[in-house]
Structure 1
């Protein structure tokens, strides 16, 4: 059965929910039709003409990008100018372009987590928190024959986590009653007859960001035509969400040695460093992309060194004065999230459509 754009978007948004995006960020479907069939997906950091040509060659009609293809309001669409030429090509070839930006930065396993993983950081936490993933209590009533299947389905979808413990639930045995009426197709019982069934009441916690996918998994695994369940708000504090990460190196290094490690981990030709190269660093803050405005957040979090791109001259001076070292590997290191997004889509869509990582280098900077 063909996969539609809506299914592709659903898989991606389960990983990087739009609710994680900062206010007024340009995310979502910017070009195309969500009902169009997906013949292939190309994942990239940026969308330019070379990327579109690559998608055409690979017979991919969906492009998933991190940076918006429409960021500033368009004043004209002239095919004799760069921006107009790009959109003319996208529309001519029925291309669809979906953007996951700050929601992908903040997502668990997204841009900033990938950057932290590549450096081997431990005890990682959110650097700039601006949202709380509220907790819900899910209660569902399941016949004895299916309680394990339903529990496994909802927990695999994201329910039942307390700290590093998964599949956390509380269950009570009881008796459920129901009478199938005209027009029903009951899994158990006969129309017009009151049924008494041995059932389990399963209670578990669900982060609000995963509630939709947990409910979908529950309904899919449950044998009943009509599922009895409740969702309650909880006063418990949810997980802090936001972009940037703060963590610790396995061992203390000099700024010089750590800068070399960053260069190798991110595969960059060069980087800029602010601070005493013999200074010892252990606690590391990072923000993928352009994070100059967060040097004070990094300092307050106790960072010895802050990794981000696009650091300007005066910000570098301010960081030096406050005793915070900076490593600037460039904005383009965010491209390391591309394989992660490909993996997410492959898991969610299976092998029905080809999922490809772009091979076009969209970094405008070169080192000589």
Structure 2
């Protein structure tokens, strides 16, 4: 069939239901009507579609590709980019995936388009369509730190035994810790504190402005953007942001959230962002120690960083040697649409789609029912 590519009607409840069926069919998290409305309210979205649809002859979706716009900032510059997310096509929509990706890549008014979350099946398609590996030296790397080795081993055994999707469905949600509902009590290292004030003029605001004056390309982390991200109506667990303070000044931060890839995977504390003022990389190991403590207290079996730049890998210090390498298939792909900015760009998961696409860990009544 020759599918027609058009913008997704995120304000049409019937179309949202059909798209939910596409994502549920491959076992991916389903975005609700409220969830799509939240994505459409992205401060960087402008007039861009929140997604594109491949429609059949009856105008029903047989494929979808999400489109998340992001502003990237540096000293005196602001560039708009876009990351694709949640790309899926129905079996009878074969061939539509390539057309969807081409539409995403050709959208106007962006300096680059990318995905930092390509799966093993999709990564070769991006390469054939001209995307290149980014960051060059670590595009295939994910790092994980094992918190509960017994749970991780049991998860691997369950997934090997339940290779058939039907068996997995019969087993249901597994490997849920009773500590998921526990409030975090620390401990925190000296100088490491939760960042809760995201208002204009706050310590966070001053910190992100100092970051933006450095000679690097970074995502816009303004209070407005962070408040929007924290308002995801489908997040079962709020993100936590930890900051490294020197006096009243923030000098580094890490942002993380509990997630569970599927019913038979362990819960992971996913690092969604990690950055610091140049010259303050020595505080990163203390942030990692606080994140590891948080993972253990909340019942996560692993701590994971899914986009790793060389700058981040260097700053991890002793945590670099403790890490287990995951990935390996080149999940970070980028297409420069304009002249390459003459600034270093060391992406984190914040630059990608992880915060909006990770499957939330079941919480509250959902967890107890499972």
Please say whether Structure 1 and Structure 2 have the same fold, judged by a TM-score greater than 0.5: no
Output the TM-score relative to the length of structure 1.
Answer: 0.23
Which one scores higher on RCO, CA 8 angstroms, separation ≥ 6?
2
Output the TM-score relative to the length of structure 2.
Answer: 0.23
